[in-house]
Amino acid sequence: MDVRAGFIVSLCLMGFTCAVPVKFIDCGSCSGKVVMVDISPCPNQPCQLHKGQSYSVNVTFTSTVESKTSKALVHGIIAGVSIPFPIPKEDGCQSGIQCPIQKQQTYHYQNTLPVKSEYPAIKLVVEWELRDDNKQDLFCIRFPVQIVS
């Protein structure tokens, strides 16, 4: 085991939440490139999202454009139908990103995905977009989840 892996295992054993990189599909990031996605807690994939809980979503990406603003949009895709999911903060500049966004800089976007109690227990795909000033996707990712009771 290398030193870095040992350090991560040590943190996990001390009780810190360990986020595992999530497998995702890029669905059209045209103004940036996604480096990594993690959801916490999500020890297994697809992530099981429990009703009434919230999950931390972290996306590391590099921008290929400059942008003064950024806006997040989240949808659940169920049987090919896109349904909007409300999130606490749509403004990416209030979600871990220091704006204005600069070209060739790496950013760590952080937000919360609340899972409402009234959501049905179902498997679906979450589509998460962060748009720039020109409404182009700094990133667009899709990842499977399962909502459970």
Q: How confident is the model at residue 3 (pLDDT cuts 50, 70, 90)?
A: very low
Q: What is the reported pLDDT for 5?
A: 38
Amino acid identity at 65: V
Across the chain, mean pLDDT equals: 88
Average pLDDT in the 8-24 region?
A: 54
| Helix segments in 17-131, DSSP class H | none
Distance CA 53, CA 16 (A): 18
Tokens, residue 147: 């909502």
Beta carbons within 8 Å of 4's beta carbon, 6+ residues apart: none
Domains and their CATH numbers in the chain: 19-148 (2.60.40.770)
Q: What is the reported pLDDT for 21?
A: 85
Q: Which pTM does this prediction carry?
A: 0.84
Of residues 68, 79, 88, 74, the one with CA closest to residue 126:
74
Beta carbons within 8 Å of 143's beta carbon, 6+ residues apart: 22, 23, 24, 25, 37, 39, 45, 46, 47, 125, 126, 128
Average pLDDT in the 99-124 region?
A: 95
